[in-house]
Structure 1
C-alpha cells in the first residue's frame, strides 16, 4: 500500500521558520516509516497567505489525497476546514492552538490551552507577580490565548496593565514597547509569532536591557526552538509553555532536524508533525485503507508509539493527550524547569478547569 499524504506548510513568508520545522518533522517521519509503509508526500507552500491554504487543500483533496498534515496558524486551519468538510478529508494539525474547537475533519496533535495557557499563568501567579502586560498577533491565536490569560491572571488578583495586538507580520510596535516601559509591567505575556515576535523581543531588550535574563520577564505560549536562534540573547529569561522541548528529543527527532530543518533544531512543531505522520501511517496500515473515518477510528483505539512517546487521541474530542512542560530560554537553549508527572487529556473548552483563583503553585513537577 502506498499512502499519499498532503503536507501543507508555509516554508516561506512571515512565519517560515515554524513551517520549515514542522515540514522537517513530517519528512523525517516518512523516512523512518519506510520499512512500515511507503508514503508519497505531496508538498504545498502557501507562503503565509491564508487564501492559499484553502486553495492548496482543495487541490490536494480533489487530486486523490485524503489526508493532510499541516497549517501553522489557526486562521489557516479554519480556512481549510470547509474544504475538508466538502471533500471528506482529514487534517492532522500539529501546532499549539487556542482551543474552543472540535471538528470531525481535524485531529488536534498540538498543545491545547490547558497544556500552555493554564500552566504558564499559574507559574506567573506562583512567582508573586503583580503587574502583567499582554501583547499578541492580531488574529484568533493572539485574541483567544490572551483572553484566557487575562481571565486567569485577574482571577489570581494580578493586574493586567495593558493589552495590545500587532498586525500579523508587522514589526512596527514602538508604541507597545513604550507602554510596557511606562506601566512598569513585571511580566509580558507574548502571543506574537514570526518576525513580529523577533523584532519585538529585540526592541524591548534594547529599550529595557535590565529585563534580559530575568527568569519569566517574558512568557510565551508558543515559543519553540524553531526561531530561537534568531532571537539570540534577547530570548534569555523567556519562559515558554508547551508539549515538547529539544532537550527531550531522541535520536530520531534529532536526525530529522539535522536532515531537513534549516536551523538544525528540534522543536515542538517538528516533534508534533513527526508524530502526526507516525499516527496516520500506523492507523492506515491497521485499518487497511486510507478512508478518513476508518483511519481515525484506528488512530483513536489506543496509544500509539511515536518519537514523542506514546500518544493517545481522544475518540470524542479528537485531541492528543500531552504532558505540559515549562522551560526557560538560556544561552540559545530551552531548559525545562517543570513538567507534568503524566500526560494530560486536552481540555479545549476548559470545561474541566478549576474556576477558582489560579493556584499559587503550578500543577507541574519542578525539574532540578
Structure 2
C-alpha cells in the first residue's frame, strides 16, 4: 500500500537571493521525483510550492496557508530571518519545518529539523584553516541581519582563541550593492583575509567590485586579500561572473566536485533535470537530503503527525551525495562532513580540506569551543591539497 502525503516546498525563487533558492527548490524536486518513481518505497509525495519572493512579510502567511490546506511537513527557508519568522507558526500549528541550509546555530526548536550545516561544520573549520595557512587579521563584511551578526560573533570568539583579531566590521542591507566605502576601509585596515557573510546580489556585487578595485591598484586580490565565506556555492559563482570568480574560499559540507559514485549520480541527475542551472549547490544537496529523510520518516511513521515523524526522523540514515548523513536525536541537527573549497575559473571548487567522515552537530558550540586549552585539543585538519 502506498501512502500519499502533501509536502510544502517554501523557497524564494524571485528576489535578491533567488539564485540559491532556485537551486534548493531543484534539489527538493529531484528528491520528490526519486521517491515517487520508486514503487517499492511505499510513500508518494505531493509537492505544494510557494514563493515568498524574498519578502520577509510573505513567509508566515505562506506557511499558514500550507498548514491550513493540510500540509504538516514543509521543506524550506534560506535566510535565518525567514526561518525565525515562521517558527512561531509551526509551533502554534503543530507542524514541522525541515530547514535545509547552513546557519549560524544557537537555536533549537521542537518544530524544526535542521539538515544544513551548523557552525561547527563550517565556521570552526574555516577559522582553523585560514589562521593556520593565511593569517589572523580579519575584516568582516556582511548583510545586516542575524546570519552575519552571529557568524561574525563566532568568528571573533574563535579568533581570540587563536590570538587573532577582527580589524574591521561592516554591514549593508540585504540587496545593497554600493561597496565603495567598505572597500576603501578594507584597504585602510590591510587585513590578511576578508570574511564575507553577505548574501545574494549583495555578495555577487562585492566580489566583482573588490576584485576590480584590487586590479586597479595592481593587487592580486585572491592572493593578497583572499575572501572566505560559509555561504558561497557553485550557482553563485556563475552570478559573480568570469572576471571575479576564481580564488575564493568557501567552507561547506558539499561541493559538486566531490569524487564519489553517489555524488556523480546526483550531479548527473541534477544536470539532466535542470540543465539551465548547470551544477547543484550545497543548499540544493541539503534540500534533496531533507526530502529523502522526510520520506523515510513518513514511511516508518505511517502518518504525518509531528511527533510520529520526528521520532522516526531521529533514527534515519542516508548515504547522501556528500556522504553519510544522520539526524542527531539530541539536537535534531544533522551529522555532516565539513569541507573547504577554493573556487576555480570554471565555476567549480577544488577541495582543499576534507574532514573525511561525518561530524556530530554542535549548534551551541558546547563541545567545540570554550578555552584556548580546549581548542588545542581539537583534532588537526587533514589537508588534501
**TM-score normalised according to structure 1 size:** 0.96
Answer yes or no: is 1:227 the counterpart of 2:227. no
Pair 87,360 (structure 1): closer, same or farther in 2 beyond 3 Å: closer
Q: CA separation in 1, counterparts of 2:175 and 2:67?
A: 29
Answer yes or no: is 1:214 the counterpart of 2:228. no
Pair 240,134 (structure 1): closer, same or farther in 2 beyond 3 Å: same
Q: CA separation in 2, counterparts of 1:304 and 1:215?
A: 41
Structure 1 vs Structure 2 CA RMSD: 1.8
Answer yes or no: is 1:88 the counterpart of 2:103. no
Equivalent in the alignment of 1:312: 326
Equivalent in the alignment of 2:164: 158
Pair 359,179 (structure 1): closer, same or farther in 2 beyond 3 Å: farther
Equivalent in the alignment of 1:299: 313
Q: Report the Cα offset of residue 211 of structure 1.
A: 3.4
Q: CA separation in 2, counterparts of 1:359 and 1:179?
A: 33
Equivalent in the alignment of 1:277: 291
Contact (CA 8 Å) 1:289, 1:295: kept in 2 or not?
A: yes
Would you say how many aligned residue pairs link Structure 1 and Structure 2? 368
Give the one of 137, 141, 157 matched to 1:131. 137
Equivalent in the alignment of 1:356: 371
Pair 6,215 (structure 1): closer, same or farther in 2 beyond 3 Å: farther
Q: CA separation in 1, counterparts of 2:213 and 2:303?
A: 57
Range moving further from structure 2, 158-167 or 270-279: 158-167
**SS of alignment partner, residue 240 of structure 1:** strand
Answer yes or no: is 1:175 the counterpart of 2:201. no
Range moving further from structure 2, 347-356 or 160-169: 347-356
User: Structure 2 matches for 1:233-272, cutoff 5 A?
Assistant: 233-248=243-258, 249-260=263-274, 262-272=276-286
Equivalent in the alignment of 1:50: 56
Give the one of 302, 305, 309 matched to 1:288. 302
Q: CA separation in 2, counterparts of 1:130 and 1:9?
A: 37
Structure 1 unaligned segments of length 5 or more: list them. Answer: none
**SS of alignment partner, residue 234 of structure 1:** coil
Q: CA separation in 1, counterparts of 2:35 and 2:160?
A: 47
Q: CA separation in 2, counterparts of 1:274 and 1:215?
A: 37
Contact (CA 8 Å) 2:147, 2:197: kept in 1 or not?
A: yes
Q: Report the Cα offset of residue 309 of structure 1.
A: 3.2
User: Structure 2 matches for 1:69-80, cutoff 5 A?
Assistant: 69-80=75-86
Q: CA separation in 1, counterparts of 2:379 and 2:144?
A: 28
Answer yes or no: is 1:19 the counterpart of 2:21. yes
Q: CA separation in 2, counterparts of 1:228 and 1:183?
A: 27
Pair 206,215 (structure 1): closer, same or farther in 2 beyond 3 Å: closer
Structure 2 unaligned segments of length 5 or more: list them. Answer: none
**TM-score normalised according to structure 2 size:** 0.92
Equivalent in the alignment of 1:203: 209
Q: Report the Cα offset of residue 302 of structure 1.
A: 4.1
